[in-house]
Amino acid sequence: MKGLKWNLEIYPSIRRKIEDMKKIQRFWRVTPSGFHQYESKWLNEVYAIDLHKRTCGCRSWHLTGIPCVHVIYAILCLNGNIEEYVAIWYTTQMFGSCYRYNVKLINGYEMWPLNDMNTILPPKCRRMPGRPKMNRIKCISERSDRHTVSKVWTTSKCSLCFQLGHNKRKCSLNQVNAVDDSDIFDYHELFKGKGLGQGQGQGQGHGAAEDVGFDLEDEVGGDSEEEVGGDSEVDDEQVVNPGN
């Protein structure tokens, strides 16, 4: 019903776009070059125009079907009608032919005819694995809006040396002062053990040295046996030869 009131050849919205481009077409200069062929130029921009093939070097006319600002200036130089160069699908006649079909009316749900067939039920709702999502999936245009500040062009500053380009984790001062706990070994813990001796005297302790593999009796007792054995041989010789 809205299109029936238009006494125009093209849509009103297309006419407004053309009027806006007429305001900036004065900056361009057109040079004729053949039959319906022109060259539009402004500063360093140059575009080839062919009114017969309805093409322009900027390809805006070919993609949208609406003459661009370069074509509009060429048409005005010929005192032509710009609306004749607009694509046919922007005309009010085409608009009326698209919407001449109406939607058929139907009665309410209570007046629908009933049948004896089984009622089609919806599928059972199955709980999907994982945590259920509360927010809807946004489209690509909505994902561009961010609530956080991007750190793409920001420079990090170290809190130790106050230099730019790195943070505290990658600072050279932190790496020099850092000490690995795995390199520290307490050798006192190696020989520390709980004795198993009974009574108030010195107990025969079996500590961590036996677990590591140290044999304290071989290290200490071996020398004592040799010394004791040497003294006993000397005493035997003195007993055998008392005269010497």
Give the DSSP letter of residue 99.
Answer: T
What are the beta bridge partners of residue 47? 40
Q: For residue 134, which phi and psi values (nearest 5 degrees)? A: -100, -30
Q: Which of 72-76, 133-137, 153-157, 192-196 has the lowest mean pLDDT?
A: 192-196
What sign does the dihedral 90-96-101-103 (CA atoms) show? positive
Residue 129 — very low, low, confident or very high, per pLDDT cuts 50/70/90?
A: very high
Q: What is the pLDDT of residue 229?
A: 45
pTM attached to this predicted model: 0.41
Structure tokens that stand for 106 in this block? 């139907």
Rg (CA), the chain: 50
Give the DSSP letter of residue 90.
Answer: G
Q: What is the pLDDT of residue 145?
A: 57
DSSP 159-187: TTT--BS--STT-HHHHHH---GGG---G
What are the beta bridge partners of residue 91? 10
Residue 222 — very low, low, confident or very high, per pLDDT cuts 50/70/90?
A: very low
Closest-CA residue to 29 (of 17, 19, 15, 43): 43
Give the DSSP letter of residue 196.
Answer: -
Q: Residue 76: pLDDT above 50?
A: yes
- What three-state secondary structure class fits 79? coil
Q: Residue 102: pLDDT above 60?
A: yes
Q: What is the pLDDT of residue 130?
A: 92
Q: Residue 115: pLDDT above 80?
A: yes
Average per-residue pLDDT for the chain: 74
Q: Residue 83: pLDDT above 80?
A: yes
What percent of the chain clears pLDDT 90, i.e. is strictly above it?
A: 2
- What three-state secondary structure class fits 47? strand
d(CA 200, CA 116) in angstroms, rounded, equals 103
Give the list of residues 6+ apart from residue 9 with CB closer than 8 angstroms, or none.
83, 91, 92
